[in-house]
Amino acid sequence: MDSEIKEEIPVHEEFILCCGVETQVLKCGPWTDLFNDQSANRPKLLIFVITGNPGFSAAYVPFVKALYSSVNKHFPVWVISHAGHALAPKDKKILTTSDDPNAQEVKDIYGLCGQVEHKLAFLRTHVPKEMKLVLIGHSIGCYISLQILKLAPELPILNKTLETQRPI
59-69 pLDDT, tens digit per residue, is 999 999 999 99
Question: What three-state secondary structure class fits 26?
Answer: strand
pLDDT in tens, 4-37: 544 589 899 999 999 989 999 999 988 888 877 7
Q: Going edge to edge, which strands form the sheet with 21-28?
A: 94-95, 11-18, 21-28, 77-80, 45-50, 132-137
| pTM of the predicted model as reported, rounded to 2 decimal places | 0.86
**How high is the pLDDT of residue 156?**
95
Task: Taking residues 68-73, report their average pLDDT.
Answer: 94
Q: How does 150-166 read in b/e, with b if 16+ C-beta sit within 10 Å?
A: eeeeebebeebeeeeee
pLDDT band at 99 (very low <50, low <70, confident <90, very high): low
